[in-house]
Structure 1
Amino acid sequence: MRKTKAISLIVLGGLVTYFAINHFTPQVTLDKKVLDVPVSESVSVVGYRNNVGGATIPFRYHFYVRANESPLTTPFLISGTPDVDITARDSHSLMIKMAGEIYQFTNVVWVKDKQALEPIHIQIDAQSKAE
């Protein structure tokens, strides 16, 4: 009897975990490229619109630093606007100016360039959007 109860609890726990992982993780549906700015010969900044909610949720925009058309990893910036002005200060440094909401931001990004990890430092000048 105890063995059956233990197996039942393990199966129930597995089902609850599976349900939670599949239904509570944020969805990402990148459907439109909104930005492509070269930083150096091999590194660029790309931005995509995340259209996860259709007409029910406002768009969010994910911005990535990538080297040599490598796959997208984690966005360094998630914002409510696609209107960002990106200026390459040098091959390892960016300046971003924008007005609008920022949902996520990190200022140091590592990219694999020529078999070595290279840091890209990002400085941001953000203002709230005038309404």
Structure 2
Amino acid sequence: MQHINPTRMGSCAKALAPAAMAMCMSMAAGHASAQGAEIFKDLSPADYVHGETLIKQHQCTECHARKMNGDGAAIYRPDGRINSAPLLRGMVEQCNSTLNLQLWPEDVNAVAGVLNRDHYKFK
């Protein structure tokens, strides 16, 4: 598979890149949506502590506060575009990829589990 350098992409390809990312995320979320919040059912109390530690270590709250003009919790809108547990996990994975946090899948699950427990409460 050939790597595509975004600086060498034409204007059409650049315009389509966000749509391609959205399509991939929706396909992944659609595949996982049958699971619902069950994706968090195997998290132990230690996993939640680990998720809390990762949130502090990577300064997620501070980053979200910058994005939301000072209120980091305002980014967690249960009635917004994140309306399922798989989409929540997908958004954590997007932060992981975008910010190159190098989290393992288990780490992403732990962070998403904490966010679900504290903000979203998907069942």
- Max radius of gyration: which structure? 1
Asked whether the two chains share a fold, i.e. TM above 0.5, the reply is: no
- Structure with more helix by fraction: 2
TM-score, length of structure 1 as denominator length: 0.23
- Structure number with higher strand proportion: 1
* RCO comparison, higher one (Cα < 8 Å, 6+): 2
| TM-score under structure 2 length normalisation | 0.24
